[in-house]
Structure formats: C-alpha cells, structure tokens
A and B are shown apart, each in its own frame.
Chain A
Amino acid sequence: MGLLEQNAVLALIPLMPLVGACLLGASLGGKPERHWQSGWAATIFSATSFIAAISLFLKIHGGDVSSIQYGLWQWFSSGSLSVDLAFRMDRLAGVMTLVVTGVGSLIHLYAIGYMDHDEHRPRFFCYLNLFLFSMLLLVLGDNLLVMFVGWEGVGLCSYLLIGFWFKDMENAKAGQKAFVVNRIGDAGFLLGIFTIFWSLGTFNFLEIENQIGLMPDYLILAAALLMFVGAIGKSAQIPLYVWLPDAMAGPTPVSALIHAATMVTAGVYMITRLSVLYLAAPEALAVIAVVGTATALLAATVALAQNDIKKVLAYSTVSQLGYMFMALGAGAFSNGIYHVVTHAFFKACLFMAAGSVIVGCHHQQDMRQFGGLRKSMPLTFIAYLAATFAITGLPYGSGFFSKDAILWAVYSKPIVLFGTEIQEVLWAIGLFTAFLTAFYMTRSLVMTFFGSYRGSEHPHESPWTMTTPILILAVPSLFFGWFYGEALLQFIGQWGREDLLVGHEVLAANPTYHLLEMISIGVALSGVVLSALVYGFMPSIVGSMLKAVALLRGLHAALLNKWWVDEFYDAVIIKPLRVFSNTIFTVIDRALIDGTVNGTGMFVVANAEVTRRMHNGKIGSYVMLMFAGMLAAIVFWIVL
C-alpha cells in the first residue's frame, strides 16, 4: 500500500461510524420486523473502524512512523489563519482510538442483546454510531477546532442517549441536566481555545507544542485553567459532576460506553494532549490535583450508601475520574491515560454486567432486590467478580497497577498550593478513597451475587450477545496491568514525567515505593474483607449500628442524599436564577418592552378613535375643512 492510501485509512476510522449513523438515520421508520438488523449494522461499522485503528496502530507500535497524519480538506481560511479538517494519530491518540473503538464495538454487540425488545432500536444505534464518530473526531483531530467539534458532538449524543426513553419525564430532565451542566464546562473550554489562539494564532496541536515558549506565563495559566473548566464539565469533577449520576437514566450500554469508558475520559485526554501547556503552569496542575482528589473522595463516600446498582457504579466512575485527574495534577500524564485504559476495561465490564443483572431481574435496579444471583447468572457473576477484583486494587488486577502508579506519582511529586506542599495529604486521601472503593464495590458484589435472592421475579441469564462482551472485557480487567501495563506506560511515555517510566522492577527496589505498595494492598484487602464480613455475614449489623449511633445515622442520611449537593445547587444557583429571570421577565420584558410596543399601538388606536370622526364620507365637509385650512393659513400669513 502506498503512503497516501495508508494514511487515508486514518480518515476511515471516524468516517465508518458516521456512515453507519447516516444509514441508520435514513432507515428510521422502516419495518419493525427488520429492526434487528440495525444493531448488527452498527456493530459492523464500529468493528470496521476498530480494525482500521489496529492496522494503523501496529504501524506506530512497530516504530515505522511516529505519527500518521491525514488532511481531508481545508475547513476554512481567513486572513493568515487556515484550519484544516485533518486527523493525526500519534501514540496517545492511537491508544485512545483503540480503547474507544474496541470497547465501543463490544458495547455495540452488547447493546444488540440489551435493546432486543425496544421498538426504537434503529434510532438508538444511529445515536450510538454518531457518538463513536464524534468521539473519534475528538481523539484524532489534529487541531483544537476539530477536537471542539468532537467535544460538542459527544455532548449532543450524550444528551440524546440519556434522554433516549424521553417519554419518561425524569429521563428527559436528566438529559437536559447533563447538557446544561456540560455547556458550563464547554464555555470554559471555548474560552481556553480563544486564549491560546489569541496568544499564538494557531489551533494546531503541533504548532502549539512548538510555540508554547512564546506565550506569556499569565496567559498560559489562564488558558490551562479555562481548559480545565471544560474538563471538569465533561469529566464530571467537582463542582460540575452532578450530571453524571443522573445520566444513569439512559440505557445501560450508554452508561457503559459514554459515561464510563469513553466520553467522560475526554477531559483527561484533552489535558494530556495539551500537557505542554500544563507543564508550564504548575499552579494549574496543583489545582487539578486538588480537584481530582476531592472528587475521588466525595464520590466514593456517596457510593457507600447508594442502593441503585447503576448509581453505585456512576459515583464509582466519578471517583475513578478523580484518580485520573490526581495523576494529571502530579504531572504523570501517561499514568492518567493508563488508568483511563484500565478503567475503560473494568468499568465498562461492570456496567454491562450490571445491565445484564438488570435485564435478568426484569428491570430491577435496586440491589436490595438482588442477592444470590451467582447461581442463576454464572457468566455475569464471573465477569462482575473479575472487574470488581480489578477496581478494588487487589494485587495483580489491572486497577492495582494503574491506581498504584497514580498514588506513587502523587506521593513522589511536590505539589505546591499556596506555598504549602500538599502531596502527602493528597496521597493519604487517595489511599483512603482506595479503601472506600474496595468497600463499596465489594458491597455491591455481595449484595447482588451472594446470599439469597430477595426479589420477586425469576432471574435468568442474559443472551450470548450480552455475556460475550462482558466476558471478553473481564480478561483485560484482570490481566492487562500485569502483562501490558508497563509496556503501555513506556509506549505513551513521551507525555509527562520521565522518572515514572523506569518500570515496576526498578521502582519496587525503592523501599519507599515498596512500603507504599504494601500499605495500598493492605488498605484494599481490609476494605474488601470488612465489606464482605459486614454485608456477607452480618447484613443486619448495618441497620442495628445505624439505630444505635445517631452520628452514623446522620452520616448515612447525608451519603444517601449525596451530601445534598443537588439541593444546595438548587437553592444557591437554580432558585435565585429562576427568581432573577422571572423578575427580568416581568419588569423588563413584560412591563418595559411589551409596554412600549403595546402602548404605541394603544396610543394610535385611541387617537384614531377621535380623528376618524373627521372622515364622515361627505365631500362637502372635506371641502369646507380645506377652505377653513386655507383661510387659516392666509390669516396666519397676513397676521405675521
């Protein structure tokens, strides 16, 4: 294959899902008995994209080329500015593309089974393919504007898919919430893009990397913080994380694809892509580390008390995203991406397994109605067990490696905020969060699969289209870190800190690292064991402890109500905004503007009521008035 054709494959990666989305969109309104085809079509388009991504990735992996570029056409030009619709795949984008298309294809396959009886399947798969297209645009775009189009596209698809069952008002509202909250972040992202363009006059990533030295420090800091606002919105960090738990209103494949594996990691990817900018602004990195740590802790605490299995996983996702931002804040960008990859495996697996449980229990999501499902759903159980093992950070699961890499990165890097070094505090919070993670994940595992069945409907195992992707993802959840973790870190290592790329063997020789690793294993183990003891053998102890200790009761209420953050936002932002808008509406719009317009009309009508009497239709009187007028004019003229 010649160079030209080889690069054209790059454009094929995002275009395949777009073609799929267009075809599925054109097929809307087709015969219901043909609807089953839509899922397979979408899966095939997605898988084609995956195969194309592998073929190009192998070229980069083999070291033939460091990056592959392909420009479709010039998008627009104005003066000296020229923006191309161009794609570029380097190591970072390659890894992300593989995750997006690979996990995406598996989730497409899973969705065939999950959405089996839905009458709007073609619309669903159309959105799903459109999402994949937008996400690939975001990942592969070679300048900020193409990335921004993808960034907005995934937001749109997220909105469409959360509100997929829009006949239920709650789902439609959740979609709106996600969209509006994301818009706040997008505004920051856009301002960040403007700042960079204003200073450097380019949108191209390579040019930004080369010319970053020309940017004054204060603009770098401003751009870095503004872009981070965008990441906060998209990747659900404090204070804009509130949309993600509500987004669970969407179908479960959507939760797995968009709200766990791919879209929510867009913020991490974007910051890694612009790591040059962030390395030049250590204050911004410190802010990111603090926000990430706070989010990880807050979300993990809320996940402790949730009873809806999808809500537990949603808060777990927010918490894990917090870990990724901790890594970014410590300057360990490749470690952040490492966690993105492992998280994509085990969290997509968890979500799909949860979806399998939900379908198997006839659309029941409350974990109090589950129990003992390991007997009736053995395949789902195995996958959920493997993914839980990975996320809890028990030794040699993939989460163990990526999470430890993050904790070590945070511990070993001086993070200075307001003149104090806070990395040890952040590390301790991260460790405590790891304990909470182990605790709540084991809780969900035990409540769902162990004990005896508490529901009323008869549970059943899901069809092969659903169990296959789950089991496939369970494999890398367990073994990816062990076999490929270091290779991945080395591979994408051109981002971030060199000191972390020495490999696990060398790091393990460092006594501090070794100690921290042992502590981390101990913490994860104690979380798992404690949770298993409490929920597996003494489920009544929670209730009696809550009854006995008032403080615990209060804490439990706070966690159950998610620290009342939604209520707080409602009281502090939404209600005042409503009142303000209403005031503006009544005073300015109704009284002032409408008053002026309507008043003019009413004035004319009232005047006409008087003057129209002069038009009596008698020519004689008109003539008389005319003569009177002339006479008056003459008299006036003579007198003056």
Chain B
Amino acid sequence: MAIEVTEFYLLLSAVLFTLGALGVMIRSNTIVMFMCVELMLNAVNLTLVTFSRQFGEVHGQVFVFFVMAVAAAEAAVGLAIILAVFRNYFSIQTSDVHDLAG
C-alpha cells in the first residue's frame, strides 16, 4: 500500500513541476512566472518529503527546510527585481523588457 502512496505523490509532484515549468515558459507576467518558479520548488520539496517517508530517513525533510529558507530569500530578491523592472519600464510584462535582444 505504501508503494502506491509514494507513486501517487511522485506523480502529483511531476504534474506540479510540469505546470510550473510550462508557466515560466509560457506566461509573460513576471509575478505569475515567479509563482510558477515557487510551484516548481515546492514540487521538488514534495518529492523529497515523499522519499524521506518511503525510506524512513530525515535527510530529505532537513533538505526541504533549506529549500524553503532559500526560497524565502529568493522571493525577497525576486520581488525586488520585479519592482526595479517596473520602475524602469512601467510594466512587468517580459515582452516589454527586451533590451538585450540580438
């Protein structure tokens, strides 16, 4: 029974990760892209927790805490960047920010 639960969570995590990745690739609103990145991070967290439960070890769960801490820092930096972009371009759409187009 335990194996099916693991499979279910891994599947869920894969779906979440794919959604996140697709969101980053497709959407042009930076805040949405940002949330999608968070989604991907949490999908990975879910995987780590799942394996941690499966093998009865705490390493995975410890790692999740690190990821969450880093994600919090990343959120601060990322939001600051978005704010700075908005101040310069009066937009947070990536389609409006293309100065480095070759």
Contact = CB atoms under 8 A, between A and B. Distances in A.
A614 B25 contact: no
Contacts of A612: 102
Give 6 closest A-B pairs by Cβ, nearest first.
A617-B98, A617-B101, A612-B102, A615-B102, A619-B94, A624-B25
A640 interface: no
Interface residues of A, number: 13
A616 B25 contact: no
Contacts of A614: 102
A613 B101 CA distance: 8
15 contacts: A615-B100, A616-B98, A617-B98, A617-B99, A617-B100, A617-B102, A618-B94, A618-B98, A619-B97, A620-B24, A620-B27, A620-B94, A623-B25, A627-B21, A627-B25
Contacts, number: 35
Contacts of A623: 24-25
Contacts of A613: 102
B24 A616 contact: no
Interface string A585-628: 00000000000000000000000000111111111100110010
Counting chain B residues whose Cβ lies within 8 A of the other chain, the interface size class is 10 to 19
A626 to B, nearest CB: 9
Contacts of A618: 94-95, 98, 101
Interface in B66-102: 94-95, 97-102
Contacts of B2: none
A616 B97 CA distance: 11
Given A617-B98, A617-B101, 7 more contacts: A618-B94, A618-B101, A620-B25, A620-B27, A620-B28, A623-B24, A627-B25
B102 to A, nearest CB: 3
B19 to A, nearest CB: 13
B33 interface: yes
Contacts of B95: 618
A244 to B, nearest CB: 67
A189 to B, nearest CB: 62
B84 to A, nearest CB: 15
A619 B102 contact: no
Contacts of B1: none
Interface string B10-41: 00000000000100111110000100000000
A614 B94 CA distance: 16
B24 A615 contact: no
Contact of B101 (A615, A624, A627): A615
